[in-house]
Structure 1
Amino acid sequence: MIDFRYHLVSIVAIFLALALGIVLGSTTLSDSVSETLRQQANAAAKTAQQARNQQRHLQDQVNGQEKFAQGLAPQIVAERLKGQSLVLVETPGAGDDSIERVGELAKTAGAAVTGRVTVQKKFLDDDQRTTVEELSTQLKPDGVEFPGNATAYEKAGMVLAGALVTKDPAKSGREDASGGAVLNAFKEAGYITESGKPGQHATLAVMVGPATPYAYDGGGDDNKALISLAAALDGAGRGTVVGGPPTSAQEGGLIAALRDSDAGDAVSTVDVVDTASGQVVTILALQNEMSGKSGQYGTGAGAGGYLPSPAPAGKNG
């Protein structure tokens, strides 16, 4: 609103100045009209300057709040994820370092970060749907059964989730042959890349959504594919949080789509993960997930509050 107001009054000032120039070049208008136009032009310029000052003041407030959150974050999150492990999942178009900062804060909270998986755009391409389904069926571990009406991406989500997360403490932190085969096959197909050791079966997962909503034709299907993966991670592990910037909660955004889906009852979301305070909220949401509590946090449509209320106890018991 401030930016729009500033541009509006600036435009008004320009046109008033133009009108004043025309008037000064005319001999048919009175001096009183010229003086009125001068006063209006000066008032518009003053309003524009006030808007600029207010914008700077608000930006200083935001910067101060970010520094405050960054300074207190280590104390707030200390030991909340003690004994847990976390895998990071980046989606196509995530586009900033939020996922890295969440990972670092999770370590401060006592969790081990197993690694990072980056989903490639090819995974979501329409012409890959059949291949994704065939690959998932081929790699399905023994004992895993797909629902009869499962989509290609629901099957892929179940297979990938089984390779990345676990609820079993005895399996946490360990790689196995079947999980390694899944990750290698998806990597060779060009569907994912990885860093670290994401196959070590974390107990928790954080997915960071695209910064720009998928507003193109087929974008809704792409969101559904990623939601299937998030839901599978949540079901196979102790909890999953999907984060993103405020744009992700707008129409076409991953968080907006997730909040409107059935998965929104189980998977937590944070639509301010690009801020220091939002990264703290992500840790609190993960802690709540371990207790079977999910929620929608942030400032966008569908958020139930900025952070869990009441906040979980200070340390993970």
Structure 2
Amino acid sequence: MIDFRYHLVSIVAVFLALTVGLVLGTTMLQDPLLNTLQSETADLRGQSEELRAERDSSDRLNEGADRLADAVGDDVLEDRLRDVGLVVIGAPGADEDMVASLEERAEAAGADVQGRVSLEDAFVDDGGATFVDELALQVSLTPEDLTGGPYDKAGVELGRALAVGLDEETETPEAPEEGASEGPHEEDVEESARPSDEDDSKGAEAVLAAFEEGGLISVRGNPARSADALLVVAPAGAPEGESEAANTLLTGFTTALSETVGPTVLAGGTEAAGEGGLIARALAEEAPYSTVDVAGRPTGDVVTVLALAGALEGTLGAYGIGEGVSGFLPEPLPGPIASEDPEDPEADASSGEQDEARRSASGEEE
């Protein structure tokens, strides 16, 4: 039978074991354990200092590269966009400073920045697809020909409003060969049958005005019928809320724009190439236009203009430092656009080659 003495002995044994454990923990095991912890802490501190030194070196290198880009950027980019009509498209959330910096760099390369079209938040809001679809059909001259989703249709119609030149059916016919007979006043009839550039521009302005009045875009400058190329600026970060849905809409919209206008570059910062970013989405879908994920600092802005120049020559690529890029910048570098001086036959020949490259880039046929 278990009595009180048994319980007393058990309790004493338990406390004795605890005492021995405390003694062992504070004497025999203390030094090895502390030495191990101190060694690991010292290693981590050393690694942290090495990483900090590498970060500081990278920051200084990037700052030096930016200063170099500022110093020689204009010389590197000279005439790369000579007389190219450029329209900038700002996605919802695009950084205003980045947009302004890219416009300045493009102008330094000789581009004529005709205007800016900023997409409002309402453009990609949930439940707005029906309105976008209806508006695209209302402003279209050939609504029966529009295909795809609402944002594909909107991209086509806005692209037609921005693109330089008349539609194929209203282009100037080829001049008759020398010596060929021509009916009386035939030239005058043909000329009167074509809509004037002014009328065509007014129609394009009406399309832009309809989207602006609908609260979907805001317009600066005079971008109607002025775009030889497009620069689309991605949001500064991943869109809040339904980011995947918004990126899908914007990717389809930009694809429709590029297929309608021609040479197009989607530019943004490194965050736009990260998970949930618009550039990452475009690369995943193998979009038919160039991308740059280092815009927003002088070096990246130079790369963006080179990407535009390459697109005008028919070369597409993904440039920057993110996953899936083809290189940091186009290789080989695109050349300058030659002068159209009629007294310079070499310039005329070069200009003709570049015009052919532009038509190929925009899908036009000879």
**TM-score w.r.t. structure 2 length?**
0.70
Partner of 1:290: 312
Query: Partner residue of 1:111?
Result: 111
Tell me the alpha carbon deviations over residues 240-275 of structure 1, each in whole angstroms, 9 at most, x when there is no partner.
10011122122321112112225x2x3111111123
Q: Which residue in the other structure is 1:100 paired with?
A: 100
The match for 1:241 is: 265
Retained in 1: the 8 A contact 2:93–2:239?
no
Q: Which one-letter code corresponds to 1:289 in the other structure?
A: A
Partner of 1:312: 334
- 8 Å contact 1:146–1:155 — kept in the other structure? no
Q: Which deviations, in whole Å up to 9, do the C-alpha atoms of 1:166-204 show, x marking residues without a partner? A: 256999999712111111111111111122222252211
Write the distance in 2 (CA, Å) between the matches of 1:201 and 1:211.
Answer: 27
Match of residue 191, structure 1, among 216, 222, 226: 216
Q: Displacement of 1:38 after TM fit?
A: 6.4
Alpha-carbon spacing, 1:226–1:47, altered in 2? closer, same or farther (3 Å)? closer
Moved more, 29-38 or 154-163: 29-38
* SS of match in other structure, 1:199: coil
**Is the contact between residue 317 and residue 330 of structure 2 (CA under 8 Å) also seen in structure 1?**
yes
Flag the 1:117–1:49 CA change in 2: closer, same or farther, 3 A: same
**1:3-14 mapped onto 2 (5 Å cutoff):** none
The residue that corresponds to 1:82 in the other structure is: 82
Q: Name 1:146's counterpart in structure 2.
A: 145
Mark the CA change 1:49 to 1:208 in structure 2 (over 3 Å): closer, same or farther. same
For 2:33 and 2:140, the matched residues in 1 are separated by 81
What is the letter of the counterpart of residue 259 of structure 1? Answer: L
Q: Deviations over 1:36-56 (max 9, x none)?
A: 476766665555444433322
User: Contact (CA 8 Å) 1:166, 1:238: kept in 2 or not?
Assistant: no
Alignment partners' CA distance in 1, 2:144 and 2:81: 31
Shifted more, 27-36 versus 80-89: the winner is 27-36
* Higher mean displacement: 97-106 or 43-52: 43-52
Equivalent residues of 2:265, 2:308 under 8 A apart: yes
Shift of the 172–293 alpha-carbon distance from structure 1 to 2, 3 Å rule, reads farther
Shift of 1:28: 4.3
Counterpart position of 1:301:
323
Q: Which moved more, 1:97-106 or 1:283-292?
A: 283-292
Identity of aligned residues (%): 31
TM-score normalized by the length of structure 1: 0.80
AA aligned opposite 1:64? G
Cα shift at 1:34: 9.9
- Superposition deviation, residue 211 in structure 1: 2.2
Q: Is the 8 A contact 2:228 2:263 kept in 1?
A: yes
Structure 1 unmatched ranges of 5 or more: 1-25
What SS does the aligned partner of 1:118 have? strand
CA contact under 8 A between 1:76 and 1:314: conserved in structure 2? no
Alignment coverage as a number of residue pairs? 287
Deviation of residue 85 (structure 1)?
1.1
Aligned residue for 1:9?
none
Q: 1:292: Cα distance to partner?
A: 2.2
**Whole-Å separation in 1 of the counterparts to 2:44 and 2:73:** 43
| Structure-1 separation of matches of 2:129 and 2:149 | 9
> What is the rounded CA distance, in whole Å, between the counterparts of 1:161 and 1:238 in structure 2?
9
Match of residue 137 from structure 2: 137
User: Cα deviations across residues 10-56 of structure 1 (Å, max 9, x unaligned)?
Assistant: xxxxxxxxxxxxxxxx9747996699476766665555444433322
CA distance in 1, matches of 2:140, 2:214: 16
- Aligned 8 A contact 2:137 2:143 in 1: no
TM-superposed CA distance for 1:102, in Å, is: 1.2
Go from structure 1 to structure 2 and tell me whether the alpha carbon gap of 1:77 and 1:40 turns closer, same or farther (over 3 Å shift).
Answer: same
Counterpart Cα distance in 2 of 1:159 and 1:291: 25
Following TM superposition, by how much is the alpha carbon of 1:315 offset from its aligned partner in structure 2, in angstroms? 4.0
Q: Which of the two has higher C-alpha Rg?
A: 2
- Tell me the residue number matched to 2:9: none
5+ long unaligned stretches in structure 2: 1-24, 173-195, 339-350, 352-366
Contact 1:215/1:252, CA 8 A, preserved across alignment:
no
